[in-house]
Chains A and B, each alone.
Chain A
Amino acid sequence: MTKEKTIQITIDNKTIDARPNQTILQAAREYQIYIPSLCAMEHLSSYGACRLCVVEVDGLRGFPTSCTTPVEEGMVIRTDTAEVKGLRQEVLKLLLSEHPASCLFCTEQDECKQYMGTIRKVGATTGCRYCPNDHRCELQQIAENIGLTETSYPVYYRNFPVEKYDPFYDRDYNLCILCGRCVRVCNNVRLNGTLSFKQRGRVTTIGPAFDRSHIDAGCEFCGACVTACPTGALSVKVSKWYGRPEGQVATTCNYCSAGCRLILQTTKTDVIDALPDYDSAVEHGIICVKGRFGITEYVHSPLRYGTPKEMTPAGYNDISWEEAIAKAAGKLSGLKPDDCLIVVSPQLLTEDLFVAQQFIRQVTGSEEVASSFIFDLDGDAASFINLALASEPFETIEKAQGILAVGFDSTYGYSPIGVKAKQAAQAGASLMSLNSFESNLDLLSKIAFVVNSSRWADVLDLTMSRMSKGKAEKRFADLVEMWGSDLNKTCETFSCSSHNVLIVGPGIIDSPDRGKILRSIERMKNEYSWKVVVAHQYTNLAGMFAMGACPGIKPGEMIKEASADKAVVLKAELIHIDLRKKRKLIYLIGDASFDSLPECEFLIYQNALPPQCSRQPDLILPVSLFTEASGTVISAEGRVLQVKEAVAPYMDSKPDWWILKSIAEKMGKGKMKFNDVSSIQGEIKKIIKGFPAVKKRIEFKEIEVKGNVKTHGKGKPAAWKSSYRGIPLGEVVSGIKVIELKGG
């Protein structure tokens, strides 16, 4: 590594090393020298709007803003002279002249605090709780740091109605100080463009075009604006009145395979908010609505199971864990492997998956480690898995010259991939999107194909044919007529480029023609060297295959050590799960794919929320969710990511692995002597060196299926629309229902 050139500057008599291209503010921050700032935000370019960060610089006229002034060799900077301080106070006063100020300057504040939050319905002092951000407000903090204790200007109250009509967050622009952070984050970080300044001067406000609601204006509800706002103007509906969180825990989102980092905000018992981490190497803080706003309501749903339950003729009875384990063990004993069907969700943690496959193999003696993704993908499971497990890392998109997104839309999910594609397109890459509805990539696309998924394979084939200047086939005629000339141009860039990326979205899983589409994708990958990035909802699919939680695959067998490793051969019968055959017992572990299941005499349901179906489970085993459990997931990129317990398990719920090993113990079968997650991880270490602290991405061998896979023959399984553990998020999270209704 070449050592970077440094520049010496002096701030408040302290000499520090800065880097060229840094601003004074950035250099100061690195050395923990405090300069107040409001509009400046890491990850955003300099803006210079709030004027709070003024400093004195020898040789420069006036008071330059430190967030816009680049450092220069030998610069002498003062941040705390009386003049600078006075100026800052003045600036802040002006900023506050449109911000209700009792939260900042009220003289009764301390006394008042004691009486706040009363639940009495009498005329008691309850304090002025008009702002949900009280005591976790950046503006309050700055006023304190600047030492402003009163203001000499009257406060102009703008009297806007609070905007509550959009899902997830409310907007009270009476509290807005027009710092512009939300606008910039929406436009420059999320590349979305919902927000803009409107009007000018005294009447300036912030919002979408034509005063539309956010949902109508194409907002993705990523919440980046809410996180960026230094005031209480933007506040999360679910968590706004919780007050200051008591702790925070960094964990990994379990809602899809991207593996975004979330900083969960917690109280003693509750997860009240989930914030992005702009320093995360995976998604760089570009999380989607599911992770940002979909967690609190799910994990604290009033429908959650808190105790084991048993079906009786009079309805459900709460029972103890002892009884529940005994009951499950009793029902499972003496069954032939064929008599029971155990379904494991790909959204479990790696550790749970490891224990689940051991359970199925050692306790029931079956090899049928069934999973909903096998039902969803039917005969195409193997080709999809090969594609998904070989998915390139997201940063492959950054340098792409050509990008084709098929069945992909990142409005309400897969943001890290979608935003990367948009960035690349803005930097000049040719982007082409192919979907059955208008996608959020269309604006930046050279061509946006909106066609039924039955034609996707044709579009892919046509692209390949154009890339190699092949003759136009008849079946392309209508496509050529619609898009011919644009297509020629775009394919020209594709064929000139050595770095083309194909983004495969979850849309192909739902398509009845996914077999054809997958074959075309394989051709693009193998014959035209497209790099493939796959986005899908099966959070821990990679973990599932690493742990061998799949029929016919042993733990560790799929992990590639050398590049010459051969494919794993799988007999077609194995991945054919007969969904018509009646079973004595069905045991669902974190899954709720009832529509595809055969009839059964006894149904064990191990999950957190009730299923949406008519068949009532006979035994309910309540599990703790990922906010209450520790372990890992292996993301689409093959990264081993940590999941950390943020709050204690809900009521009497238990982790999946604990339930499984307890049943096995009760039955006296298997070798699952696990006391905690780290003992399971010790076992996994034998398969993956250094687990769980694995730096390297895990690479997988291919699967080669021998023979023809029969379809399961129980109709088409319901599409898996953003669900967690088999429960559609829209059923539990009110806002997700709203946005999905709009999308549908």
Chain B
Amino acid sequence: MYRDAILKKFDPRLDNILFILHELQDNNPQHYLANADIEKCADYLNIPYSYVHGVVTFYSMFSLKPRGRYIIRLCDSPPCHLMGSESLLDYLKKKLKVDVGKTTADGVFTLEITSCLGICGVAPALMMNEEMIGNLTPERVDTVLEERRQTS
């Protein structure tokens, strides 16, 4: 199974827990940590499930709910805010027909909010999975979403 292959890459040491969890989440087709992921990790590190579950719920970058193929993280920090991220958020919500933290019905996009991405020069900005996209306008958002929807 792909999970075993992931685990094998790491020594079974407690200080690897975050790396393991990230990798498991990234490789989960639904971008989240399923119970099976948590159990696998715990068994591999010989620690209780409750411990791993505690770690997962502590960090906001881990999700226990299935998410879309693309996770949109719209920056909410002051520079982006000043450049209109609030109305972009409204636009995104309407366009995707979801609330923050929710996934579109077709399972392609999940809408999230993030704090500063460090690319304030091109505010307003968002992150689409690992990719940064700046200088956003509603039109640009449309193209970006359309592109992704096509490739999925």
Contact partners of B102 in chain A: CB under 8 A: none
**Residues B50 and A196 in contact, CB atoms below 8 Å apart:** yes
| A209-B46 in contact (CB<8A) | no
A194, CB-defined interface residue at 8 Å:
yes
Assembled-state Cα–Cα distance A243/B48 (Å): 35
CA distance A196 to B53 in the complex (A): 8
When distances are taken between beta carbons in the complex, the residues of chain A under 8 Å from B54 are: 196-198, 209
| Contact between A194 and B57, CB atoms less than 8 A apart | no
Count of chain A residues with Cβ under 8 Å from any Cβ of B? 18
Partner of B52, one of A192, A199, A209, A443: A209
Q: Which of the residues A192, A196, A199, A444 comes within 8 Å of B46, measured between beta carbons?
A: A444
Instruction: Please measure, in the bound complex, the distance between the C-alpha atom of A508 and the C-alpha atom of B45, giving whole angstroms.
Output: 31
A474 within 8 A of B: no
State the Cβ distance, A419 to closest chain B Cβ, in Å: 15
Kindly count the residue-residue contacts between A and B in the assembled complex, taking CB atoms under 8 Å apart.
Answer: 46
Residues of B contacting A207 in the complex (Cβ-Cβ under 8 angstroms): 50
Contact in complex: A199, B58 (CB < 8 Å): yes
A200 touching B58 by the CB < 8 A rule? yes
Q: Is there an interface contact between B49 and A210, defined as CB atoms closer than 8 Å?
A: yes
- Name the prevailing secondary structure of the B interface residues: helix
Choice from A195, A199, A443, A444 contacting B50 with Cβ under 8 Å: A195
The answer to whether B2 has its CB under 8 Å from any CB of chain A is: no
Interface residue tally of chain B, by bracket?
Answer: 10 to 19
Say whether A193 faces chain B, with CB atoms less than 8 Å apart: yes
Task: Please give the distance in Å from B51's CB to the nearest CB on chain A.
Answer: 5
User: Contacts A209-B53, A210-B53 given: A194-B48 contact, CB under 8 Å?
Assistant: yes
Instruction: Indicate with 1 or 0, residue by residue over B36-75, a CB within 8 angstroms of chain A CB atoms.
Output: 0010000000111111111001100000000000000000
C-beta contact mask, A417-449 vs B, less than 8 Å → 1, else 0? 000000000000000000000000001100000
On whether the beta carbons of B48 and A196 are closer than 8 Å, the reply is yes
Residues 216-240 of A contacting B (Cβ, < 8 Å): 217-218
Cβ distance B68 to chain A, nearest Cβ, rounded Å: 23
Contacts of A197 in B (CB 8 A): 54, 58
B46 touches A208 (CB 8 A): no
Q: Complex formed: what's the CA distance from A198 to B49 in Å?
A: 12
A195 to B53, CA, bound (A): 10
- Measured between beta carbons, the chain A residues less than 8 angstroms from B58 are 197, 199-200
Query: Is A187 among interface residues, defined by CB-CB distance under 8 A?
Result: yes
Q: How far is the CA of A217 from the CA of B52 in the complex (A)?
A: 13
Query: Which residues of the other chain, B, contact A209 by a CB distance below 8 angstroms?
Result: 38, 48-50, 52-54
**Per-residue CB proximity of A176-199 to B under 8 Å, as 1/0?**
000000000001000011111111
Of listed B38, B50, B54, residue having the most chain A CB within 10 A: B50
Residues of A within 8 A of B52 (CB): 209
Report chain B residues within 8 Å CB of A187.
48, 51
- Any A CB within 8 A of the CB of B87: no
CA distance A157 to B38 in the complex (A): 31
- Rounded to whole Å, the gap between the CB of B17 and the closest CB of chain A is 13
A-side contacts of B57, CB under 8 Å? 198-200
In Å, the complex CA distance between A208 and B48 comes to 9
Distance of A347 Cα from B48 Cα, bound (Å): 36
For B48, what are the chain A residues with a Cβ–Cβ distance below 8 Å? Answer: 187, 192-194, 196, 209, 218, 443
Give min CB distance, B109 to chain A, whole Å. Answer: 25
Closest to A203 in B: B57
Which chain A residue shows the least CB distance to B47?
Answer: A193
B35 within 8 A of A: yes
**Closest CB in chain B relative to A709 CB, distance in Å:** 45
Query: What are the residues of chain A within 8 A of B50 when measuring CB–CB?
Result: 193-196, 207-209, 217
Q: For chain B residues 76-111, which have a beta carbon within 8 Å of chain A?
A: none
Residue of A nearest to B48 (CB): A193
A195 to B46, CA, bound (A): 16
Q: Return the chain A residue nearest B50 by Cβ.
A: A196
CB distance from B111 to the nearest CB of A (A): 21
Bound: A72/B58 CA distance, A: 36
B46, B47, B53, B58: residue with the most chain A Cβ atoms closer than 10 Å = B53
- A499 CB → nearest B CB, Å: 23
The minimal Cβ–Cβ distance linking A137 to chain B, given in whole angstroms, is: 26
Given the interface contacts A209-B38, A210-B35, A444-B46, does A198 sit within 8 Å of B53 by beta carbon? yes
Least CB separation from A192: chain B residue: B48
A-side contacts of B46, CB under 8 Å:
443-444
Known interface pairs A209-B38, A210-B35, A444-B46; A193-B51 also in contact (CB < 8 Å): yes
Q: Which residues of A contact B47 (CB under 8 A)?
A: 193
Contacts of B35 in A (CB 8 A): 210
Task: Offer 13 A-B interface pairs, CB within 8 angstroms, sorted by A.
Answer: A187-B51, A193-B49, A195-B50, A196-B50, A196-B51, A198-B57, A200-B57, A200-B58, A208-B50, A209-B54, A217-B49, A443-B46, A443-B48
Residue positions of B touching A, CB distance < 8 A: 35, 38, 46-54, 57-58
Cβ-closest 3 pairs across A and B: A193-B48, A209-B53, A196-B50
